[in-house]
């Protein structure tokens, strides 16, 4: 699996993003991911992630969500990380509002790498200190550094 430094950078990180609902959060995450230069078709990616989210919420609990999709709208595996200014309803099973979002996108056929990244993020996000650190990040650089530290 690719290291975080190979698939994520400060360019695809954002803090204190203001959104009103889940749809706006997903759109913002796609826009932030697009800054990484590997999104081939942002509209197609938005549609794919919205369809995937309609199947079941990707809210994993503790205020975190990891929406993810494999589609041909991206050229390689990558992810965006964002904190929200205010938590939003994401339909998480624990009922908590989400204020941490990691969008994972990869091309079809990268299932193994995608699942390894998803598993790695899920493990990290179960650590309360890590989540608190993400929420306290003052800017995209601090958010990125915290994620790199957990490599």
Per-residue pLDDT tens digits of the chain, which is 151 residues long: 568 999 999 999 999 999 999 999 999 999 999 999 999 999 999 999 999 999 999 999 999 999 999 999 999 999 999 999 999 999 998 999 999 999 999 999 888 888 898 889 989 999 999 999 999 999 999 999 999 998 7
Q: Three-state DSSP class for 17?
A: strand
**Pairing, β 64-65 against β 59-61:** antiparallel
Burial tier of 135 (Cβ tally within 10 Å: 0-12, 13-18, 19+): middle
Rounded to a whole number, what is the distance in angstroms from the first to the last CA of the chain?
12
**Reported pTM:** 0.94
Q: What CATH code is assigned to 4-149?
A: 3.40.930.10
On the CB side of 54, CA atoms within 13 Å amount to 7
């Amino acid at each position: 699996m690719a290291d975080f430094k190979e698939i994520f950078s400060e360019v695809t990180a954002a803090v204190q993003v203001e959104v009103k609902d889940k749809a706006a959060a997903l759109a913002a995450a796609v826009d932030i991911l697009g800054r990484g230069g590997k999104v081939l078709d942002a509209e197609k990616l938005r549609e794919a992630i919205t369809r995937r989210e309609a199947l079941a919420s990707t809210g994993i609990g503790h205020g975190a969500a990891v929406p993810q999709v494999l589609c041909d709208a991206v050229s390689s595996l990558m992810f965006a990380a964002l904190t929200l200014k205010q938590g939003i309803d994401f339909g998480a099973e624990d009922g908590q509002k989400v204020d941490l979002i990691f969008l994972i996108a990869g091309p079809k056929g990268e299932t193994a790498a995608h699942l390894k990244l998803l598993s790695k993020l899920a493990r990290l996000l179960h650590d309360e200190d890590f989540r608190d650190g993400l929420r306290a990040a003052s800017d995209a650089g601090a958010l990125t550094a915290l994620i790199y530290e957990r490599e």
